[in-house]
Amino acid sequence: MAIARIAVFQRCSDALCHANVTRMAEKRRERSQWLLSFDARFKHCCSDWAAWFARDRGDEGVAAMLEEYADFLECHIEAWTVTTEGSLVPGIQTHYIRILPEDVGNANPLEDPNSKVLKIKNHPAGSQDSFSARDIVDAGFLQLARYGIRRPDDPVIVDSLKIIDAVLKVNTPVGPVWRRYNHDGYTSGGVRVARGLF
């Protein structure tokens, strides 16, 4: 019976993650194998929610297992998504990156945001499409503060905000806007942006 309950709660947690993350991933994955930093943050929250759900129904074993999984994700966020060798803004080397590209078939990948190269497949043929992962940023890290996983005044969050404002922010006659990420191949001359960030 306990195994059946674990399977049910795991399916619930996976369904929550799959429904939202997969929809985003399909739009953003550029048809390559990668680890989207948002996935780990969102799965952390889904696992916490599923643990609450299990505990509310009296299944302490499943709740503990889901919380341990959430803790595993949480304690790897910086290792998977923070560079210490960024070069986008002078004086700020440590900040969140957009994607840590990985070969999902590799059982022991080198999870190093400082050395990975990200191939962005939405670039026209013949143009540069490979960039240092440490120098591709988006605002996905803000979910860490929104979900309460990191404090809004965390030094890496604060420095990452400075990076996205310096790299992604565009002032327009109607107010500031932010690009999805730098080197986005879906822009028209780098000017396609969405109003606001939040």
Tell me the per-residue pLDDT of 36-47, one tens digit each, with 9 for 90 and over.
444 555 555 566
- Higher-confidence residue: 174 or 126? 174
Structure-token pair, residue 143 = 């979910």
- Higher-confidence residue: 104 or 134? 134
CA–CA separation, 127 and 60 (whole Å): 54
Q: Which of 21-25, 70-74, 171-175 has the lowest mean pLDDT?
A: 21-25
- Higher-confidence residue: 131 or 63? 131
The model's pLDDT over 158-187, given as tens digits with 9 standing for 90+, comes to: 999 999 999 999 999 999 999 988 988 776
Q: What is the DSSP letter of 18?
A: I
Q: How many domains does the chain have?
A: 1
CATH number for position 88 = 1.50.10.10
Give the model's pLDDT for residue 58. Answer: 84
Per the CB < 8 A criterion, the answer to whether 120 and 185 are in contact is: yes
CA–CA separation, 98 and 92 (whole Å): 16
Give the model's pLDDT for residue 198. Answer: 36
Is residue 19 pLDDT above 60, yes or no? no
- When mean pLDDT is compared over 6-20, 112-126, 130-144, the highest value belongs to 130-144
**Cβ atoms within 10 A of the Cβ of 16, count?**
18
CA 92 to chain centre: 20
Average pLDDT, the chain: 75
Tell me the residue range of the domain where 97 lies: 2-195
Give the model's pLDDT for residue 123. Answer: 75
- Higher-confidence residue: 151 or 28? 151
CA–CA separation, 196 and 82 (whole Å): 24
Q: What is the DSSP letter of 48?
A: H
